[in-house]
């Protein structure tokens, strides 16, 4: 059972979503505007938000940015827009997942389950893989990652990471120097058995910026073409 906020102005779609979610034993609240959504999130604790983009008072993409300013609650964007650049932008702005309308209730349930598993794993101090990840501070060169407190520092400076960026960094830091396949990243960090490589590339790109590097001039994050990604200390940072 999850506490779900449905943000949808189409009454027919909204009613169908509410009915399906309640049938699945979730606790549901619903609103039809972005401002109402912001008030609801500020006042109540939700496990997941399903956010339509075509809202009457504010574009859902802007509402997403505002939501990310006050909470890190998982957000699944429900959109009729299937433009790849738009979807990448939404992921960059903090969406945890997206569904292109029309979608089936089964598809929504599967995506919700995956997002909730990731969120609950994050709350518990980190996801799949080795148990020691949640019990100690991970250090790779100048990086210090504390999965229990969900904090990461680079050369003593606190990094401002999104939940997904932190999960990705912590997962790789738990396997320093090991090339991790993209399929494994999708399974362990995104809790998905399938997905678009673009999702991983987007998060790697943003993570690289925060680590002060680029794909062309990597320091910590190295992409091995056709194989996967590895995190290792820069040569100058190694003892």
Half-sphere exposure of residue 230: CA atoms within 13 angstroms, side-chain side: 12
* pLDDT tens-digit map of 8-38: 998 898 999 999 998 888 899 999 999 999 8
pTM of the entire predicted model: 0.55
Question: What is the CATH topology of the domain spanning 3-123?
Answer: Rossmann fold (3.40.50)
Backbone angles phi, psi at 123, to 5 degrees: -65, -35
Q: What is the CATH number of domain 131-237?
A: 1.10.10.10
| Confidence check: pLDDT of 239 > 50 | no
| Confidence check: pLDDT of 193 > 80 | no
Average pLDDT over residues 41-48: 85
Yes or no: say if 4 and 37 are a contact pair by the CB < 8 Å rule.
no
* pLDDT tens-digit map of 134-175: 347 888 999 999 887 788 999 999 999 888 888 899 889 988
The domain segmentation of the chain, as residue ranges, is: 3-123, 131-237
Quote the distance between the C-alpha of residue 7 and its chain's center: 19
């Amino acid at each position: 059972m999850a506490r779900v906020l449905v943000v949808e102005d189409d009454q027919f779609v909204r009613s169908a979503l509410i009915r399906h979610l309640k049938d699945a034993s979730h606790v549901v609240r619903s609103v039809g505007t972005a401002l109402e959504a912001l008030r609801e999130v500020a006042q109540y604790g939700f496990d997941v938000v399903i956010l339509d983009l075509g809202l009457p008072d504010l574009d859902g993409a802007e509402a997403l940015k505002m939501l990310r300013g006050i909470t890190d609650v998982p957000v699944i964007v429900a959109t009729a827009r299937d433009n790849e650049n738009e979807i990448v932008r939404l992921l960059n702005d903090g969406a945890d997942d997206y569904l292109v309308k029309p979608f089936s209730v089964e598809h929504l349930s599967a995506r919700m389950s995956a997002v909730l598993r990731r969120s609950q794993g994050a709350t518990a101090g980190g996801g799949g893989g080795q148990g020691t990840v949640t019990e100690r501070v991970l250090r790779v060169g100048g990086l210090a990652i504390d999965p229990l407190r969900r904090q990461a520092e680079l050369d003593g400076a606190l990094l401002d990471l999104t939940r997904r960026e932190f999960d990705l960094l912590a997962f790789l830091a738990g396997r320093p120097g090991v090339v991790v396949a993209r399929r494994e990243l999708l399974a362990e960090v995104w809790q998905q058995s399938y997905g678009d490589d673009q999702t991983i590339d987007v998060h790697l790109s943003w993570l690289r910026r925060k680590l002060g590097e680029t794909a062309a001039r990597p320091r910590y994050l190295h992409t091995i073409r056709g194989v996967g990604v590895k995190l290792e200390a820069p040569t100058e940072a190694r003892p």
